[in-house]
Structure 1
Amino acid sequence: MSRANSDAARMRRLKRIATRKGVTIMTILKSTPRTRAHGGYMVRDAQSKAILLGNADYEFSASLDEVDDYLSADGSGDQE
């Protein structure tokens, strides 16, 4: 995997997109076996602080792929 496609680079790109959309990507500080298997992220509305993604069955349940899909879902063309 190249550095441009690493999870860190992907996360930086997603955070830029999230900022433009008025949401915040939150990452878990202390992982659990459950979040290590799948998850570790939540998306929160920056103004209302409401959790929009990643709190379905347990906190920080969204994967990075799910966050990417969520931010891309509206088709607004915010991809870099």
Structure 2
Amino acid sequence: MTHRVLVAGLVHETHTFLAQSTDLTGFEALVWVRGQQMLDRCRGDASPMGGALEVADASGWQVIPSRYGAAIPSGTI
């Protein structure tokens, strides 16, 4: 039996001492993808999602991609 696994991720290092908050444009500037784009962008890279996809592929799981976003270190979300 093949496991079906929904995957999504959000990566952000928050600096609370910064006055400006991080909004969607902060993620769009670095990584903001969904569906097949997420798999194409993250599979085989050194990101946390890349590692999760590597394990899923090695385990023979069916990956259902949702949304993945990453922003540079910045203010609170």
The TM-score, its normalising length taken from structure 2, stands at 0.23
In terms of Rg, which structure is larger? 2
| Relative contact order higher in (CA < 8 Å, ≥ 6 apart) | 2
TM-score of the two chains, using structure 1 as the length reference: 0.23
Select the structure that is richer in helix.
Answer: 1
Higher percent of residues as strand = 2
